Structure 1
Amino acid sequence: MMRFDPFREIEELTQRMDRAFGGPAAHAARLAPPVDVHESAGGLELTLDLPGVKPEDIQIEAENQTLSVQAERKYAREEGRTAHRVERAYGTLSRTFSVPAKYDLTKVEADFDHGTLTLRVPRSEAAQKRSVSVRSGGQLTAGKTVEAGAAPEQTDGHAPAQQA
């Protein structure tokens, strides 16, 4: 006696359709891989999961404050082999990120290890923190560290009063 499976006929029909029309590879889906984005004083770090992708199948483009990652995960279809279940995603994996101008897209670094792509985007030199020395009565005083693009503390043109 065979146990009744209401989905068996649907799965068999799906398999026949896959064989007739080229299988999952024929459905060139665009998928968005999961990503973690972290920011530190040094810059941005983006980590994407690209399991089953070969390093040579990854394209990274940086242009006009946009960082794009595209990879291809191919379905290996073999003659004489029947797929009973295909649940993993195949096709083009693609993500695009808008990167603020304070990061330097000309110096992006990429590492790919065990299906994980890590992109590092450093801060631009203009956006780095730096120390500015202040002259008072012709003598230099201790510098103050400021971040590029930070709003000044006062806008009336006068320096803050120093306490003795």
Structure 2
Amino acid sequence: MMRFDPFREIEELTQRMDRAFGNGMTTQGARLAPPVDVHEDEQGLELTLDLPGVQPDDIQIEAENQTLTVQAKRDYTRGEGRTAHRVERAYGTFIRTFSVPAKYDLTKVEATFDHGTLTLRVPRSEAAQKRTVQVRTGGQLNAPKTVEAGQNSTAETQGAESTQGA
């Protein structure tokens, strides 16, 4: 579903180490990767990201060239006359980038944000939808077969070869 990106894995490992040892927690330029669940069904992909404390206006979603990027910002504000004794929550820029296969239509992404959870739905493209194809053999119409878009059945392949040779 998603391609392995070693640089993203290294960035996430660095962020985990920083969180574990308390480095860069309140740095304004910190880039954090929010946790995500990715599910797939016949309609398409569903990505669910945790963005606690983020305002909907501070979320940017970009879909371009089979890449889906989610960026959000949560600022740290310390009130006047207050001393911070412990700051453990993550602040700064949250960013996550996903490589989306071509069988999904990034022009129809839907996003909902509810109680700190962002849900993105990416539908399958029309060309990738399953459809029923009638197969003829010996002049008779056989039972319809459902084929996945982009796959050739044996009958289709043989038919194409026989028409090319004629």
**TM-score (norm: length of structure 1):** 0.76
Q: Return the offset for 1:149.
A: 1.5
Among the aligned pairs, what percent are the same residue?
A: 77
| Rg larger in structure | 1
Judge conservation of contact 1:24–1:75 (CA < 8 Å) in 2. no
Say yes or no: does 1:143 pair with 2:139: no
- Listed one character per residue, the Cα deviations across residues 70-106 of structure 1 (whole Å, up to 9, x for unaligned) are 0001111211111111110000000000000000000
Amino acid at match of 1:113: D
CA distance in 2, matches of 1:98, 1:71: 18
- Tell me the C-alpha RMSD between the 2 structures: 2.2
| Inter-partner Cα distance in structure 1 for 2:112 and 2:50 | 12
Gaps of 5+ in 2: 1-23, 161-166
Which residue in 2 is equivalent to 1:5?
none
* C-alpha contact (below 8 Å) 2:25/2:89 kept by paired residues: no
Number of residues paired by the alignment?
137
Which has the larger displacement, 148-157 or 92-101? 148-157
**Structure with the higher fraction of residues in helix conformation:** 2
Question: In structure 2, the residue corresponding to 1:157 is in which secondary structure?
Answer: helix
Which whole-Å deviations, capped at 9, do the CAs of 1:3-23 have from their partners, x for residues lacking one? xxxxxxxxxxxxxxxxxxxx9
| Residue pair 2:27, 2:91 contacting (<8 A) in 1 also | no
Give the distance between the partners of 2:88 and 2:40, measured in 1 at CA.
34
Paired with 1:138 and 1:40, the residues of 2 have a C-alpha distance of: 37
Identify, as 1 or 2, the structure richer in strand. Answer: 1
